[in-house]
Structure 1
């Protein structure tokens, strides 16, 4: 998992730049989904291309560093491919295509294990949204727009939360051990 605050050391310039890009991309994702209830393809492409270029530079350019706490190419590929099962939800119109694409980009950005935690937190937030909507709609007439769950926004919120989780916290320790051992 990622941590914007390195334990006992300052951020190196590349790390600070990666965090700035990561936070900006997630904030744009949150804003777009909350404001318009859609995720622009330009945002998805820019996130995927930026991370791919960063990883290619880290692989090929001397002195260029991988993103903070980089878990490796396999974990990034697994994170990206984690979006594939969500295509079934999209095909049944239970999830938007932008949500599925956002999962793929976040998988590339974070890797597989942190993405699982992001999906868990985002799903809990989406479930809370649904329960609140159902509860309030019994007493008030709510717009159809409020019925739409901004899942990509919840993904962005969860990604920022997971990425900024201190590595010495009990939650981070549990998530790391659970994701690596499955227990």
Structure 2
């Protein structure tokens, strides 16, 4: 089942980087697979129902605050909830920290390239399809950081390195 989770994370990463959104069907597929793993006793990370549901609730609830202030898209929030079902509450903290650092680096690089545009192609990659079509300028309340992708990448790193003790 860990391979299934990793495959789901890969799909989320690619989709969010390319479209700057995470579709509901992809979030629901990951949540359903996590619930099935729990129900069948095949949870790959050794968490129980309580830890999974707490991870989902806190993941969703915490990012919902950012959505309420217009700082994050709804797909990122729903993905965090589904992710919590896979990894549980204890892993969400380190995953959020790493994902936030990656998203911060993304934002800093994008702002730097806006000021000194020595690589228009990199600007369009960082900006995403909506901003690239708009000439690279950010419309009001643009969501150009694929936060779900960074959550997925941080989770994959946690799967490989963070769980080894």
Q: TM-score, normalised by structure 1?
A: 0.73
Tell me the SS of whatever aligns to 1:85: helix
Matched, 1:70 2:46: yes
More helix by share: 2
CA displacement at 1:27 relative to structure 2: 0.3
Question: In structure 1, which of residues 160, 163, 167 is the aligned counterpart of residue 164 of structure 2?
Answer: 167
Partner of 2:22: 39
When the two chains are superposed, the root-mean-square deviation of aligned CA atoms in Å is 1.6
Matches of 2:65 and 2:156, distance apart in 1: 26
Matches of 1:69 and 1:39, distance apart in 2: 24
Which entry has the higher C-alpha Rg, 1 or 2? 1
Partner of 1:96: 73
Question: In structure 1, which of residues 124, 145, 156 is the aligned counterpart of residue 152 of structure 2?
Answer: 156
CA displacement at 1:126 relative to structure 2: 0.3
- The Cα offsets for residues 53-72 of structure 1, whole Å up to 9 and x where unpaired, read as 221122xxxxxxx3233122
Matches of 1:116 and 1:150, distance apart in 2: 19
Aligned pairs for 1:1-183 (under 5 A) are 18-58=1-41, 66-82=42-58, 83-140=60-117, 142-143=123-124, 144-145=131-132, 148-165=144-161, 167-168=164-165
Deviating 4+ runs (over 6 angstroms): none
How many residues are aligned here?
A: 144
CA displacement at 1:36 relative to structure 2: 0.8
Where in structure 2 are there 5+ consecutive unaligned residues? 125-130, 139-143
Q: TM-score, normalised by structure 2?
A: 0.81
